[in-house]
Amino acid sequence: VYLLLDQRDDRVVVTWPDGHSDGFLYLWLRDNCRCAECREPAAWERLHDTVAMPVGLSPASVVFDGGLSIRWRDGHRTWLSEGWLRKHAFRPPSDLAADCAEISWDSGIAAAPPQITLAEIDSGPAGLRRWLGLVRSYGFCLVRQVPAEVDAVIAVAERIAAVQPSNFGRSFHVISKPDPENLAYTAHRLHPHTDIPNRYSAANLQFLHCLQFGAQGGESILVDGFAAARKLAAAHPDAHRLLTDIPVRWRYQDQAVDIVNHFPVIRTDRAGRHLEIRFHTGLMEPLDLDPDLASSFYQALIAFGRLLRDPAAQVAFRMMPGDCQIFDNQRVLHGRASFDPSSGPRHLQGCYIDKDDFLGRLRALERDGNDFRRT
């Protein structure tokens, strides 16, 4: 069985010995040259000028030599290994859908929730990696045995990256109080929601650490928003489409700020994978839609909200002082049961970190010491 090269006008088609074929565009090959003239060797950023390429670029010669060895008409040479080519060859979006690190869950996860102790996180890079891997797979994780001290949550978050301040400050205290700035600072029940959907940069990982909990009620609730969105897509595809298409005006305002942005409730990528949920009816401004469309939108929103509130989809648990929950605020919605503030204290402290910092740290830990320029 031989490897075949078929040179066409704008690309070379490689048929590998296993029979699979990949087409590689000449512009793409030239742009991805990995020589020291084309990539800054230390920073590994492209030096080659993508925009200066002639759009009809074609090579003087192409041969296979453990990879594609290309001589361009200006004399420049490019060599790309077979391994690199096979790794970066085009895959249709439908193939990508299967390539997903996410593990869906429902109330059954209560029997064995993803959890770790702070001591294991601090035992070395393997502990940190296991923790971050759990958060990426499940969208949440409980950290046990964190000291029940003010600002300990910031120290937990900063094991990953610097905390991301919001209009609530570097951290916030969830405690029932008079004249609250938001509903979290009351004793009301909170249905599952995502935080700060009104912010452009709502892409974050949220930490909630329990400092004191003597009150009756107030159990925490988490629900896998992506699992609920998939259920909606299967049962009511039109409703799912409306929630991805129609931007909602989300708004938070207090004495100091008025932060408004338009985003849909559900965002997906080209492969149909879920990227983000924004769902917090308390912060939804009046819909600015034609009444017929508003009617369909409300039906879609209500259908989705009911899936999120289905007890069979939720995990409910009572935090103990020293427990810290971490969840992906773009995927996992959080809520709580109402509580009786006269029955005892309930004090949580929370903060956010940027999701890019979290995923970026995890991916770096997963490189296993490989030189980053090889990947």
Pairing of strands 115-117, 140-144: parallel
Question: In angstroms, what is the minimal distance from the CB of 8 to Zn ion?
Answer: 22
Residue 38 found at the interface with Zn ion (CB under 5 A): yes
Minimum distance from residue 134 beta carbon to Zn ion (Å): 41
Out of 78, 176, 192, 195, point to the residue binding Fe ion (CB under 5 A).
Answer: 195
Q: Residue 154 binds which one of Fe ion, Zn ion, none, with CB within 5 to 8 A depending on kind?
A: none
Q: Which is nearer to Zn ion, 29 or 196 (CB)?
A: 29
Using the minimum distance from each CB to Zn ion, give the nearer residue, 70 or 266. 70
Distance in Å, CB of 328 to Zn ion, minimum? 39
Examine residue 33 and tell whether it contacts Zn ion (CB under 5 A).
yes
Distance from C-alpha of 187 to C-alpha of 375, rounded to nearest angstrom: 50
Select from 31-39, 106-114, 195-203, 333-341 the region that touches Zn ion (CB under 5 A). 31-39
Annotate 73-101 with DSSP letters as a single string.
TTS-EEEEEHHHHHHHS---HHHHTT---
Q: Which does 285 bind (CB under 5 to 8 A by kind): Zn ion, Fe ion, none?
A: none
> Which window, 25-33, 246-254, 318-326, 331-339, contacts Zn ion (CB under 5 A)?
25-33
* Candidate segments 38-46, 108-116, 306-314, 331-339, binder of Zn ion by CB under 5 A: 38-46
Based on the shown chain and the rule CB under 5 A, indicate whether residue 183 belongs to the binding site for Zn ion. Answer: no
Query: Closest separation between CB of residue 101 and Zn ion, Å?
Result: 33
Minimum Å gap between C-beta 111 and Zn ion is 55
Stretch that binds Zn ion, among 36-44, 80-88, 315-323, 336-344 (CB under 5 A): 36-44
Please state, in angstroms and rounded to a whole number, the distance separating the CA atoms of residues 328 and 266.
15
Degrees to nearest 5, angle at CA 276 with 323 and 335: 35
Question: Is 12 in a helix, a strand, or coil?
Answer: strand
Decide: 110 and 49 in contact? Cβ < 8 Å. no
By beta-carbon proximity to Zn ion, the closer residue of 58 and 296 is: 58
Q: How far is the CB of 39 from Zn ion (least distance, A)?
A: 8
Binder among 3, 4, 13, 35 for Zn ion (CB under 5 A): 35
Q: Tokens 């594609």 — which residue?
A: 68
| Residue with smallest beta-carbon separation from Fe ion | 195
The DSSP string of 333-371 is: EEEE--EEGGGS-EEEEEEEEEHHHHHHHHHHHTTTT--
10 Å CB burial of residue 33 (0-12, 13-18, 19+) is: buried
Q: Which stretch binds Zn ion (CB under 5 A): 35-43, 132-140, 176-184, 194-202?
A: 35-43
- Please enumerate in sequence order all residues whose Cβ is within 8 A of that of 83, keeping only pairs 6 or more positions apart, or say none: 67
Q: Report what 232 binds from Fe ion, Zn ion, none; CB cut-off 5-8 Å by kind.
A: none
Other C-beta atoms lying within 10 Å of the C-beta of residue 207: 24
Q: Cα separation of 28 and 10, whole Å?
A: 10
- Burial (Cβ within 10 Å: 0-12, 13-18, ≥19) of residue 108: exposed
Residue 76 CB, shortest distance to Zn ion, in Å, is 6
Q: Which is nearer to Zn ion, 1 or 36 (CB)?
A: 36
Q: Choose among 146, 145, 137: nearest CA to 109.
A: 137
Query: Smaller CB distance to Zn ion: residue 70 or 174?
Result: 70
Contact 68, 85 (CB under 8 A): yes
Question: Rule CB under 5 A: which residues touch Zn ion?
Answer: 33, 35, 37-38
